[in-house]
Structure 1
């Protein structure tokens, strides 16, 4: 099994694997190009995002700067708006539905590590590295995620959900809910 296959399966993988580094470097080149395009260069933006993402629906608006790790694990539904300075660590799949609003500085993290240093760090000296695993994140249709929110690995956010600004989302949020806080909690049905 390749390191990429392990990564997408949720097993421990080596993020410094040559295949993964090649995808990573390609994403960085595409992001540099995208983030440096003039505001009105829409055809060029479309071309770059089509090369970067697994899927980008019609009418997606992505403010710059934008940052991601691989790009190829990100799917964004039609008419979704992603505001400035968002960071998507897409070691695993990030799926965002249609008509979404992603506020500025939102961070979506699929990657994680064991909590205990004795379990996290393997090897000795120059050969040591941290164990890494990744779990997917799914965000439904018509979701608004307020600015400065953080979405953790293995979280599913249902349809028609509003996540308040500054929330730290560590657990699933069902459809039609208002949720916010650190940790994020469902406040009421909307």
Structure 2
């Protein structure tokens, strides 16, 4: 892997328009496009495309349309389900536990850009891994920001923006998302 790839996956600043990174994103977009164009009844073809995208077999069930940056940085647990219109931007690892449900329109994004406009204009980017525990449910249009960890059994209310870690066994909502009550 290139120097820029190594920087990207390790959380350092990198140049996303590096030739190798651009080619890998393009490859993932082509696979996502094919996946999104398959008929829902073409289960074997959809599984093969998903395995190609992830670099491994998975029992995940993902509704079209689905989008990601690379696919190879996604680690999906058993019985993962993503409803229509989910986007997982994975320059850094997105590790998702077992029995996780994503409602329509969820965005999980590890990529971030500098606040400094000069560095941002120069194309600089970084990424921070996201970890989601087991038995988590993210409601419709939830956004999960870089570097966040969501504990086991968490429910995040629709439209929430998760900007910081959420503890296990809680119902959370808001912008930014905060604990509303424990899961009983």
TM-score scaled by length of structure 2 = 0.95
Name the counterpart of 2:73: 73
For residues 164 and 32 of structure 1, what CA distance do their matches in structure 2 show? 29
Gaps of 5+ in 2: none
Matched residue count = 182
CA RMSD in angstroms comes to 1.2
Match of 1:63 in 2: 63
Deviation at 1:168, TM superposition (A): 0.3
Give the direction of change, closer, same or farther, for the CA distance of 1:189–1:86 in structure 2 (3 Å limit): same
Partner of 1:32: 33
2:131 aligned to 129, 138, 141, which one? 138
Q: Is the 8 A contact 1:56 1:77 kept in 2?
A: no
Paired residue for 1:184? Answer: 177
| CA displacement at 1:56 relative to structure 2 | 5.3
User: Where does residue 148 of structure 1 map in the other structure?
Assistant: 141
Moved over 4 A (4+): none
TM-score calculated relative to the size of structure 1: 0.92
Q: C-alpha separation between the residues in 1 aligned to 2:12 and 2:132? A: 22
| Alignment correspondent of 2:103 | 103
Aligned counterpart, 1:174? 167
- 1: distance between equivalents of 2:116 and 2:78? 40
